[in-house]
Structure 1
């Protein structure tokens, strides 16, 4: 029995060591990619800030009605884009963002709105398919390294739905649920209402006089040009933020898994040693008992 226990513990030690190597490799891969992901997020930030200021300037200083800045009252349909990951081994990263998306969906449905679901990443897509939820759109593009082309494809689809008429299935609002990268330890799920556009006031720097603007050829044409690019840049920034958050979550989860594997190996090693000691003690007891029996028979 003891010998069998030793074999079981040795097999468990061997399999746990293999898992530990895999967890450690995943941790190192995530650590090597997180720097690039954060650099891409930082590189995209200046353009996003510049186009945000430009759109804010037009909407603030020009009294125009535009489809992307005006609330719709001809339909009660709304769209939710859930940004998740393509891979697992990232702790609660995907489950947290899906829970946030479900809370948003329930809140909107309580308000009497019809919700259309869109998803990026295989984790969210698999979640909704398993539960029989119909997705109006889905994308699986490699969540660790999203590209501007991916953001353009997603933004064109969602913009088309927002600009479509009520009879053609247009939506009145577009919400994006993604994970905001705060630092290497903190990544929090966040909901952003992307459309209709909530313009950020205060185009000029603090302490500066507000500039005067003259729009050519007209504010409407400028908005027609800027707003689709603004939506595309916002979605791209969401994807980049989510990618950095995913890698940070995976690095932290794999580090914890590696530590847990080491604890298991120590536990199994101690149990194997105890089983070996019990086996040796049993053998000694059998030898002594046999010697006593021989001596008694003599």
Structure 2
């Protein structure tokens, strides 16, 4: 019984040590979520105005641009999957990968070859373990993405899209959209060719449409704006994914801390029962010994 009691006490100490770690990670994730949300909110005005500018040029000019042209036969598609670099975030990365698998299965069903691009070590590990080809990957920035990384991704994908023979005809990105601390939704978006829509309501017949003048020319304006637009979309996806990752990690670590607390209570209760049983057994043995000595003395008399 003493050995069992020592085992339970060792388990309690081990779980208490784990609880301290999970609690610290929970607090770190909670503090970083605020910064991630602030970065996403700070980038929103630029992305919104850039979207309006691109929408205006694409809508009110009759210029055909390679990034906006729909191909009649699409044979190859690129998919950028945004996952995390670290674990301990619950089902965050796995949910994004499942959404990407559904998208790739749909694209293959349409007769398209899929080229995989990965952001985050978890996605790289998933595809490498299954010996599936990865065209290019980016790691080390999932919780704190930078605009330079987003620009590098967009330059690579745009280059592949503009390459006629060995390039791709479509570019998709799969990431986790941050809706709230409790809800993060895996989302798949087609980036190229661009689908630019400004507002959901169509203007009425009596409404006057604005007249735009583009300098130096609509084609040159599109050449300057469209790559920046794609970069801003990718950067927005990375910021959303970072906030989602931190929220998922905080929730997972809180759950782990709560489970550790319950486990400590359970082991403490079992250890107390084992200790009480040991004491009871020792008392019984002492009482039995005393009775045996009393009986022996009575026999000698």
Q: TM-score range by the shorter chain?
A: over 0.9
What does residue 70 of structure 2 align with? 71
Q: Deviations over 1:236-294 (max 9, x none)?
A: 01000110111111111111111110000000000000000111111111111211221
What SS does the aligned partner of 2:86 have? coil
1:141 shift after superposition: 3.0
Q: Deviations over 1:136-187 (max 9, x none)?
A: 010003211100111011111111110111x2x2101001000101111111
Output the TM-score relative to the length of structure 1.
Answer: 0.95
| Cα distance, 1:133–1:6 mapped onto 2, change above 3 Å | same
1:214 shift after superposition: 1.4
| Cα distance, 1:202–1:63 mapped onto 2, change above 3 Å | farther
Structure 1 runs, 4 residues or longer, greater than 2 Å off = 72-75, 201-210
**1:1-298 to 2 correspondence within 5 Å?**
2-73=1-72, 75-165=74-164, 167=165, 169-202=166-199, 209-298=208-297
1:201 shift after superposition: 3.8
Q: Is the 8 A contact 2:177 2:185 kept in 1?
A: yes
User: Quick one: distance in 1 between partners of 2:33 and 2:203?
Assistant: 33
Q: Deviations over 1:105-153 (max 9, x none)?
A: 1111111110010100111111110110110010003211100111011
Q: Is the 8 A contact 1:176 1:194 kept in 2?
A: yes
Q: Structure 1, unaligned stretches of length 5 or more?
A: none
Structure whose alpha-carbon radius of gyration is higher: 2
Q: Deviations over 1:3-47 (max 9, x none)?
A: 111111111100100110000000110111111110000000011
Number of residue pairs aligned between Structure 1 and Structure 2: 295
User: Quick one: distance in 2 between partners of 1:142 and 1:260?
Assistant: 30
Q: Deviations over 1:64-101 (max 9, x none)?
A: 21111111245501000000111111111111111111
- Superposition RMSD in Å: 1.6
User: Quick one: distance in 2 between partners of 1:30 and 1:265?
Assistant: 24
User: Quick one: distance in 2 between partners of 1:141 and 1:5?
Assistant: 45
| Cα distance, 1:111–1:218 mapped onto 2, change above 3 Å | same
Output the TM-score relative to the length of structure 2.
Answer: 0.95
Q: Structure 2, unaligned stretches of length 5 or more?
A: none
Q: Is the 8 A contact 1:86 1:123 kept in 2?
A: yes
| Cα distance, 1:285–1:175 mapped onto 2, change above 3 Å | same
What SS does the aligned partner of 1:68 have? coil
| Cα distance, 1:180–1:89 mapped onto 2, change above 3 Å | same
| Cα distance, 1:230–1:278 mapped onto 2, change above 3 Å | same
1:204 shift after superposition: 10
